[in-house]
Structure formats: C-alpha cells, structure tokens
Amino acid sequence: MIKRQTVDGIRKMKVAGERIPMLTVYDYPSALIAERAGIPMLLVGDSAGMVVHGYDTTLPMTVDDMILHAKMVTRASRSALVVVDLPFMSYATVPDAISSARRVMQEGGGQAIKLEGGQEILPMVHRLTAMGVPVMGHLGLTPQAQHQIGLKVQAREASAARQLLDDALALEQAGAFAIVLEVVPAPLAEVITKRLSIPVIGIGAGPHCDGEVQVWHDILGLYDNKTPRHAKRFAEIGAAIEKTVREYAEDVRAGAFPTSAQSASMPLDTLNEVLKADC
C-alpha cells in the first residue's frame, strides 16, 4: 500500500539533512508525472493564474479556482504531500482563513495550505494550526503583494532582513510546518534556514535552504519567454511540442495523415447494403 508523505515526514527530511525537492503543478498529467518521478511535496500554486489562465498576476485567482486545480492534482497524487495556496484576500480574517482552508481541504483534497505574509497573518496561522490544518508560510517576494512591494529581490537592507528573520521565527512559533523563501539574498536565506527547526524551501534564495520549489512550466521550458533568473530550464519541451504540432498540421494539409490503415474498416458487403438502402 502506498503511503502518503506527511508533514512530520517533511520535517524529518530536514533533521536527516535530506534535501527536499518540491514542484508546483496544476493539473492531473503534470501531477501524475511528478508522482512517478518521486517528488515528495507538490504545490498547487496560485501562480496558475499566470501560467495556466493567462492573467498578468496571481490576484484574480479565487478559492473555487484553487479547488479545481487541487482536485486535478490530488486525483493523480498518491504519495506526495499536496500543499494548496490560499489565494489573494481569501484569508484576510481568521473566519475567512478557516472557511477557505476548509473548502480547499474538503472539496479540493489538499493536505496542507500555504499563506503569504509575516506578522500580519500570525492570528490565522495560530488558529488554523490549532484546528489541525498544516500551514506552510511564504516570505520574501510574496506575489499577492506585488503591487505594494514590487517584483524584485526582497530584504536587501539590514532592517528588512531583520524583519524577515523575525517573521520566519514568528511563523515557526505560530505552528507553521515549513516556510517558502522567495527571491531573497542567499546569505540571509542561509541564516534563516539554520535558525529555524522547520524546513525552509527556497525559490530564488540560493543553495543553502533545506529544499527548492520550482514551477512545472519553468523547468520544462514550456514557454519561449525569458526564464526567471531563479529557474533552470532542464528541457525545452515547449519547442518540442510546437515542432510536433507543426508536423501534425503539415501532414493533415498534405493528406499524409490519417491513412486508411489508421481507420476502421468495413466489409464490402456491409457498405453495399448501406448504399442500396440510400438509393
């Protein structure tokens, strides 16, 4: 029987010094492949708003959207811990957070949720974890706040770096089982990783975090636009898909596909009967 990864199992990976690969996926086929590849933790990210829905930001994503994507991922996943983002303003108050987390876990099937922010979300983290909801924090570049903080490296100055460390410690104290650090200086990420007893998952935060999270479309090169600095294109699947689609279209236009051999046959007697009936 396949056993699903747990929050405790993720914590033990840090204790054992085992690096934690995490991948952001949004649908059944990507989750199925990630599952077969042995990824222990999957994130159903609200970044789906940009890479799947075509929005300019993550902000238009709703709880219903996240539930839809979570359902697709959890249908495919049997062993990974599936973490689901709560979208913009869906956890503005403690009651909001409880309602959103309940729906994402009951309807979407997620096993944990992720919230962006520091001191301002501590009441939500306290309450949710007290009720048995595993919560992952997210600090640094928090895309839901991009209109306020910008899409740039965070916590470069001493005061901001100190605040980020304080926020990370506070989230751990509030009950978060792990934290994502996005686009922060590598030396700061290393300090935070060493100070916290919970796993720290980096993205654009250097090589010293306990693990790394990347977006499915980025590592596969599915889009031909510029790859984020913090990402690595491990393949050029987008170019391969485009080449395949072009070849398909060319074969159809040239009459080379489909062929009779690829079609169902019919006995000549049966066809003659059809033609007689038509007359």
Task: Report, as residue numbers or ranges, the catalytic residues.
Answer: 182
The answer to whether 273 is annotated as binding is: no
C-alpha triplet 71, 183, 190: angle, nearest 5°: 105
Q: Which residues pair with 212 in a beta bridge?
A: 21, 202
Contact 81, 41 (CB under 8 A): yes
The answer to whether 114 is annotated as binding is: yes
End-to-end Cα distance, the chain: 62
The answer to whether 243 is annotated as binding is: no
Helices (H), the chain: 7-15, 28-36, 48-51, 63-76, 94-106, 122-130, 146-149, 158-174, 186-195, 216-220, 237-254, 268-278
Query: Which of 135, 201, 144 lies closest to 170, judged by CA?
Result: 135
Which residues are annotated as part of the binding site for 3-methyl-2-oxobutanoate?
46-47, 85, 114
Which residues are annotated as part of the binding site?
46-47, 85, 114, 116
Which residues are annotated as part of the binding site for Mg(2+)?
46, 85, 116
